Amino acid sequence: MRVLLCGGAGYIGSHMARWLGQRGYHVTVLDNLSAGHREAVKWGELIEADLLDVASLERAFDGRRFNAVMHFCARSLVGESVERPYEYYANNVVGTLNLLDAMRRHGVDRLVFSSTAAVFGHPVADLIDEDHPKQPINPYGASKLMVERILADAAHAYGLRSVALRYFNAAGASLDGDIGESHQPETHLIPNVLRAALGSGPALKVFGDDYATPDGTCVRDYVHVDDLAQAHELALGYMDVHEGAHVFNLGNGQGFSVRQVIEGARKVTGGEIPYEVAPRRAGDPAILVASSERAVRELGWTPAWTELAPIIDSAWRWHQVQPY
């Protein structure tokens, strides 16, 4: 199978390329390298293109045949989306429409879409399943929800088969330390905690300690990046036998507070991790924990990483060898 990975030079995309490449898929990476890393493209050809540049998209598809597309390209910073919503709607919605148009012109009718738990907004249940009310509280989540609606309409109008996978908090790195999580700026908790442990990052900030949670800090569900990759591969097979647009939540079903993550990292690294409490960030809900029962039941997804400490440890192995 020939798969085009849009955003395949980024964190999740590069792990996806590795996963597919090691399993015999023909992988092509499309990325504008604005947030991705050229050195992370170790599996398959790299095409430098931008979803907002229709001409570059056309060049990427010309002369190549793809059985399916996986779409990881997105602006994804919650706070930034609140401050700069136009950029988020342009990149995440208009860019996706351009990609869908290119796919249709070139006869590619299967898409796995990288969605997010941010489509739900403030949870009204302890575990969030696919039918939970969707009321995003920031433009990032709203832009992803718009794409989910577009995919449903595309299934009806054009016969597009799609699977939208709503990640909760992606975390971890490949066990061989070959690739890992690297953003500029880095906003995700686990890499920032580990960089603080190494003394290579800015002072660690805990954004808010007055939430209605057991220790006052936000609670999140962390899912290993390789478990996400497994779900994407299963989604390809799912589309072989299921028409239409489908959505699945991906998480481990357990919530860990910011302070619990810091304590877990302290145990993994063996060192103290200094931090300071800062004001809440706009658009952050207090708790986000997934129910992934539908993915387990219908996709046959079996996450291998079910505990927080091994997830942190896999990231720690990668961060220790980075030239910070």
Is 156 buried (19+), middle (13-18) or exposed (0-12) by CB count in 10 A? Answer: exposed
Q: How far apart are the first and last CA of the chain?
A: 38
**CA–CA distance, 211 with 188 (Å, rounded to integer):** 19
| For helices 308-319 and 189-198, angle between their N-to-C axes, nearest 10 degrees | 50
Active site residue 140: yes
The C-alpha R_g of the chain, in whole angstroms, comes to 19
**CA–CA distance, 75 with 128 (Å, rounded to integer):** 23
**CA–CA distance, 17 with 250 (Å, rounded to integer):** 19
**CA–CA distance, 266 with 253 (Å, rounded to integer):** 23
Active-site option among 140, 167, 211, 238: 140
Catalytic residues: 140
